[in-house]
Structure 1
Amino acid sequence: MTNLFSSFDPSTSLFFPLNWTSTILFIMFIPLSFWLIPTRSSSLWKKILTALHLEFKTLIGPKSFGSTFIFVCLFSLILYSNFLGLFPYIFTGTSHLVMTLTLALPLWLSFMIFGWINNTVHMLAHLVPQGTPPILMPFMVCIETISNLIRPGTLAVRLAANMIAGHLLLTLLGNTGPSMSFSIMWILLITQILLLVLESAVAIIQSYVFAVLSTLYSSEVT
């Protein structure tokens, strides 16, 4: 590697960056659960998706009307992309703000347009929390407006930063391997394995957090 961040470089060709094809590799794993005899892994995955559907339905409320499937698909896409990034020589799409903002910004913008057109009074009421003193109401409107505007940015940065941090740590520790003596190499190997387990947990948690926060944002506009 020429520098520390070269593993996150998306430019591999002149016309179309081939690294971004890693974001659609998860399609190879999907048809197996639908066209073949169900296996234990596919049955477990269907149970997980059913549990997520029920949880998202509870968060959104009785007016979900099947919108939970959007967030279940969003969770699946981010989870597959996070896990594929843990394999060697596979580009992690979710470590770039280009992809995470592409996921977060249209969702947030559609929620805002829907809410302000159909539930204008409800959206205005959200700008002033219940029990706010009258003298603080102008300040609370400003604070709530700013916090609402930065939501897609916080969603995107949270996911990208968590993916970059773990991968950089694994890369840094891996680069110190050739300069280490054989007697302490086992410490590095154990540390790398533990970090890989931690990154697997982060991949699940961050996809779940992204989907749950998107669900909560959508529940506020109905």
Structure 2
Amino acid sequence: MSLDLFSSFDEQNMPSLWGPLVWVFPTTCVLVMMFSFWVSFSSLSFLVFVFHKMFGCLYNSFSLFLTSYFCVIVFGNIVGLVPYIFSSTSHLVFTFSLSLPMWLGVVVSGVVYSYFNVLAHITPEGAPLALAPVLVWIETISLLIRPWIVGIRLMANMVAGHIIVNLIASSMVVCIFNFFTGLVFVNFILMFYLAFEVGVCLIQGYIFCMLNYMYMLEHP
């Protein structure tokens, strides 16, 4: 089982004592960022300020909401890079549980606020009357699969990164028993790729929030 690349994504293979770290660490990081809450400019306030500038002044309360999502996703991604730590963001159950409430909240709010505008958005403007029924079905399906697309995208990127890290680490084990020069070279590659993967963790958190923000722009 240790030779299976996908065994690292099985929570049953992880030590039971490390399991709570997956959920405690992201919460602890957010609390640490809020230690300077009573000063003029805390770390959390800086993130809220950045999201507020990127997404405009129209959605002031939504900036804090996106900041919270960003912190949870980024910290979850980075914790998953630690050896023998369960990667929660590599599972569709976790990513879908993040994307579904945000998407569902926007859809329900749009229907309650303006039902006719939501229906008008499903029907493309200027479309031929004969193609209208087909286009309505296409737009409806594209609307319903949005949370799945966002969740699968995050999961697929994290799974691909972890598989590559496992492959490089397996090469290091082989080099230990063969030649030292190859071990140094593979170790350098692993360090470089881990730094690259940390950047990917940040970018994936940003893209997740950006996609949900773009979906929110369709709110009537």
TM-score, normalised with respect to structure 1: 0.85
- Residue 108, structure 1, aligned to residue 103, structure 2: yes
Which amino acid is 1:176 matched to? Answer: S
**1:49 and 2:44 aligned:** no
1:77 match: 72
Give the structure 1 partner of residue 174 of structure 2: 179
CA distance in 1: counterparts of 2:21 and 2:180, whole angstroms: 38
Higher relative contact order (CA 8 A, sep 6+): 1
Structure 1 partner of 2:4: 3
The aligned length equals 214
The match for 1:163 among 155, 158, 162 is 158
Deviation, 1:21, is: 4.2
Letter in 1 for 2:117: H
- In structure 2, the partner of 1:120 is 115
1:112-141 deviation digits (Å, cap 9, x = unpaired): 222122211111111122332333222211
> Could you say which residue in structure 2 is the equivalent of 1:214?
212
Deviates more, 1:21-30 or 1:66-75: 21-30
**In structure 2, do the counterparts of structure 1 residues 33 and 145 end up closer, same or farther at CA, with 3 Å as the change threshold?**
closer
Aligned with residue 187 of structure 2, among 186, 189, 203: 189
The 1:134–1:20 alpha-carbon spacing in structure 2 relative to 1, beyond 3 Å, is farther
Q: Is the 8 A contact 1:53 1:72 kept in 2?
A: no
Q: Which amino acid aligns with 2:9?
A: F
- Which amino acid is 1:148 matched to? L
Instruction: Give unmatched runs, 5+ long, in structure 1.
Output: none
**CA distance 1:43–1:67, change in 2 (3 Å):** closer
Gaps of 5+ in 2: none
The corresponding residue for 1:31 is: 31
Alpha-carbon contact 2:48-2:63 (below 8 Å) kept: no
Residue type matched to 1:146 in 2? Answer: I
CA drift at 1:216: 1.6
Alpha-carbon deviation of 1:166? 0.5
1:30 match: secondary structure: helix
- Return the TM-score normalized by structure 2: 0.85
2:139 pairs with 1:144: yes
Q: Matches of 1:37 and 1:102 in 2, distance apart?
A: 29
1:177-206 alpha-carbon deviations (Å, 9 max, x no partner): 222222222321222122112211110111
Q: Secondary structure at the match of 1:35?
A: coil
SS of residue paired to 1:67: helix
Root-mean-square deviation (CA, aligned residues, Å) is 2.6
Name the amino acid aligned to 2:30.
I
Deviates more, 1:30-39 or 1:197-206: 30-39
